[in-house]
Amino acid sequence: MDKIHLNQMTFYGFHGVFPEEKKLGQRFLVDVVLEADLKQAGQADDLHYSIDYGLVYQLTKQVVEGQSKNLIEAVAEEVSEKLLSQFNPLKACTVKVIKPDPPIPGHYQSVAVEIYREKSL
């Protein structure tokens, strides 16, 4: 299956289990991999046969900057549901939600959740 990658989309949201996260908010990075047959789009050079990256960005932004959730797992799940329902050519997607600055002690670059979902027939 062919793949479209949108990497390190950056948003500001209010997700987390701690009250400070819901009040102050923080940055979230999102990677999305879209699986679809892109042969016809490439041959015809026509967006109609592909997936509009700008719309993928906007749908992802709506979720991440929208209603507060406790878990980034829930954020990833909602992003995948919206993408799979919006785009007909899309067969499956991988959504990775990265929390670069979680309020937990320790030294690390980030924490992240990655999910893979397929379109149900």
Give the residue among 39, 64, 34, 68 at the shortest CA–CA distance from 51: 34
99 is catalytic: yes
Catalytic pick among 3, 91, 99, 119 = 99
Between CA 54 and CA 30 the distance in angstroms is 14
Query: How do beta strands 26-36 and 2-13 pair?
Result: antiparallel
Check whether 17 has a pLDDT greater than 80.
yes
Tokens of 6: 């949108």
Read off the pTM: 0.95
Model confidence pLDDT, tens digit, residues 52-78: 999 999 999 999 999 999 999 999 999
Between CA 30 and CA 28 the distance in angstroms is 7
- The enclosing domain of 36 has a CATH number of 3.30.1130.10
**Domain extent at residue 64:** 2-118
The predicted structure's pLDDT at residue 107: 87
- Count: domains in the chain: 1
CB-based burial label for 107 (10 Å; 0-12, 13-18, 19+):
exposed
